[in-house]
Structure 1
């Protein structure tokens, strides 16, 4: 345990498993409801049903394998000879159905041992990174620390620490085992932690003032840069983001800078207006929350109302339900008030309805008095689904709600022009590292086939090369489509539509680390624009968490130095 919070990366205090608590509460509630209705058997949660289905499939495969072996005369020893494979199959099943990160990690460690992947981890040499420079820097840090040479330690910290030293940030280092990467990389990062512990010790007879050390660490942090979490749009698929946040929060690797577009703006804003304890409680009761964003299509009358609105105004829904839901969650907090309350930097992207305006990134610097709920509604105003929206602000003198000073501009869905505002975040907050969660149904299939989005799952060299070729083909195809759309806009053919389509196709939809749902999740189009049920909320949360767990070791290694520096700086400033 270090002096400024805990293990590397920094942990303020242990957090109970959100996903495990969520499943337990859901099962208890379902069981109580079944008892009230005097049912013989309790209702299973979606997770229980998933576990049962997978267990049945694995059992069926084992039976078939044993049957085939028996036909070829191997019945006397078939079971014994398949014991190891059965153990692997059983562990893989447990990995897919784990309900907490600790259990998932335990299973992954067992799999790495059973499948002999630990041997690859122990071997320092690899053409994926410069192991010699990593080892050299680690030994220099260790030597200076053991000698108590604080001046040299500070010199090494200031001059050698970067996020991607020796290419240790290469995501391909994380596709050769179920969890973790080369032991040399983990040892180097641990040595960095020990170096920070040494230079921040109180009453250390090194003759250096705390202010001098603080200045050195602040400059180092600027050099390393900052990490931002960026949540994409994607309709009700955006509930997947809840599980991502739960997983990051549990392991205390949730960046302070958070951006959201459309559905991502909903989840990002709810997170950013609550402190950690409140978020823990909110997420554990997430299935009880109401996300009634869309009008219910209960009968032919409501359908005809929506159809009439679409024919008259070009939108299927009005945004009253959306506004009411966001006000219930967010109240009348402004961007500045939310930042002062939680310290998190919330960013929401909005796209002007006009082609003559540029997309905007709203936060406590660019729109301090803007009401967050109105920014979220504007970011969710997908053309054809919701009408364009006006943004409101709180008058600083009177506290009265009024239209923002840009009221003449109407805003639509932030995903249209700037789903992941990477460039703007870099300019404003020195962000050079992006954790992206992408759930847009028109994007996920292509990213699943992208070699840039690997990491956290085992993948062969042939698979990586195949994805590279597919990526090149997609790049050529999209370039041609963009060219024709630009030509159409220039000659006046559906100029507004073509311009918006160019924005959609030419954006970057992935980050340095990209978290993606399964293709099956984004293929359920009937749930894209529908109010979620408690069961669907639970499924999305669990699947979001499970998609994030393989990325946790990558995030810790990419961001560990950054988060530890934040903790060390906070400690020195508190003295």
Structure 2
């Protein structure tokens, strides 16, 4: 077998891998066959400032080995910057099948070792509370990643695969956002601990029955073509009756759920523990899944002072979060200091264009078609923007507003994971998914994520280490205060 035939065979096997271990072994074999290893071992590249990374790495290592806690603290507090030297540039992660420059991995590892060393060192002059404030300040300055999951109805099973791939490599962000179908997965993550998550990665253990036909008459009356109670019971069975705040206290994950307004003078909302701590999580997910005409608008529910369920903002109703804010990246930047977005995109009306755009991005002969599509989108936005602002008919105004939002919002992140749909997938959008359907989409989610793990690791590992240090130090602070109370 000649070299090219061998490479083609390996590429085919790579696309068919059924586990990360299998995928990584084939990817590394491909890198060896294509002589990519030398590129990874050589730190030089004009894409990033390798000299800055090398200097910083050796400085941190020397301070740690010399046990210079004061110098190490100062170096981390002043010199730890996200995307230092442009090390997160996507081009550095497209040169090989597995990983990137060894220097980048070594730098990230050294920073994480230094952070843990400082966090765990018993001889630090800082009290636990002071050390906690120190690490919080670094995280605030450095920023953190977020996982955002789009709508997509039953196609949202893809999200579970992406989550599984991230969770298994300890790269699942603490900040999670979801709209429509993505809100259900976000709520699952927000209400279940790491020990409980594996049960949701087994397609045979999932029994998802969210769809039940309500009848043509129900739809024509504006009550939705699908039974909302069926969806509510499905969501509530898996999520329980946790509030946003209770969920965060249970798992440490910050869940954010998008909902869209019904009336034109309302604003979209991002529901989270910060903005709506007493809101019932299942209620937020139900509202975010209320696709107009498919389901009726939803009145949100909260826990009152007595622990009983009561209406939240009782005069208002809410619908599908994807309509206005499928991916609330800007809001997450303000609420959670997010500086890197991992997007799992499954919207059936978006995915084909993402795939086409990716395939055409470097092909000059596709430029006219891309320009034409850009012009059509621009003029479409202008038309619907005019109608939503100037028409007096409430139905036209509302519909125009929704169409404007669908056209004007962005559907991509710093890393965008998306499936490859076939006709059968579109046919199953509004059907109760079988275990086989879920399994297939989950595997697609994993396969889409594995090649992006190196880039995600560069952006996320330091933030994850900071978050783990903060969690450990909070426990130390509580223990220290308990000791002081006993002494007193």
1:411 corresponding residue in structure 2: 318
Contact 2:145 2:459 in 1 (8 A): no
SS in 2 for 1:436: strand
Q: Deviations over 1:458-499 (max 9, x none)?
A: x99x83777888766544332221112122333316211111
Query: Whole-Å Cα distance in 1 between the matches of residues 115 and 76 of structure 2?
Result: 9
Q: CA deviation at 1:224?
A: 0.6
Aligned with 1:369 (options 274, 278, 302) = 278
Change in Cα spacing, 1:123 to 1:430, as seen in structure 2 (3 Å) is: same
Change in Cα spacing, 1:427 to 1:469, as seen in structure 2 (3 Å) is: farther
1:108 aligns with 2:17: no
Equivalent residues in 2 for 1:554-569, closer than 5 Å: 554-569=455-470
1:353 aligns with 2:271: no
Query: Whole-Å Cα distance in 2 between the matches of residues 569 and 310 of structure 1?
Result: 50
Change in Cα spacing, 1:319 to 1:574, as seen in structure 2 (3 Å) is: closer
Q: CA deviation at 1:129?
A: 1.7
2:158 corresponding residue in structure 1: 240
Contact 1:134 1:185 in 2 (8 A): yes
Q: Which protein shows a greater Rg?
A: 1
Equivalent residues in 2 for 1:69-80, closer than 5 Å: none
2:444 corresponding residue in structure 1: 543
- Structure 1: state its 5+ residue gaps: 1-81, 297-304, 452-458
Q: CA deviation at 1:282?
A: 3.1
Query: Whole-Å Cα distance in 1 between the matches of residues 140 and 181 of structure 2?
Result: 31
1:400 aligns with 2:308: yes
Q: Deviations over 1:357-386 (max 9, x none)?
A: 001111223222222222211111111211
Aligned with 1:489 (options 367, 370, 388) = 388
Change in Cα spacing, 1:344 to 1:480, as seen in structure 2 (3 Å) is: same
1:131 aligns with 2:46: no
Query: Whole-Å Cα distance in 1 between the matches of residues 408 and 218 of structure 2?
Result: 32
What number of residue pairs does the alignment pair up? Answer: 473
Equivalent residues in 2 for 1:523-538, closer than 5 Å: 524-538=425-439
Contact 2:211 2:430 in 1 (8 A): yes
Q: CA deviation at 1:565?
A: 1.8
Equivalent residues in 2 for 1:35-184, closer than 5 Å: 82-184=1-103
Change in Cα spacing, 1:292 to 1:211, as seen in structure 2 (3 Å) is: closer
Contact 2:156 2:182 in 1 (8 A): yes
Contact 2:149 2:327 in 1 (8 A): yes
- TM-score when normalising by structure 1: 0.77
Equivalent residues in 2 for 1:332-343, closer than 5 Å: 332-343=241-252
1:251 aligns with 2:169: yes
Q: CA deviation at 1:409?
A: 1.0
Change in Cα spacing, 1:150 to 1:97, as seen in structure 2 (3 Å) is: same
What CA RMSD, in Å, does the superposition of the two structures yield over aligned residues? 2.4
- TM-score when normalising by structure 2: 0.90
Contact 2:155 2:425 in 1 (8 A): no
Equivalent residues in 2 for 1:8-19, closer than 5 Å: none
Q: CA deviation at 1:211?
A: 5.2
Query: Whole-Å Cα distance in 2 between the matches of residues 468 and 176 of structure 1?
Result: 24
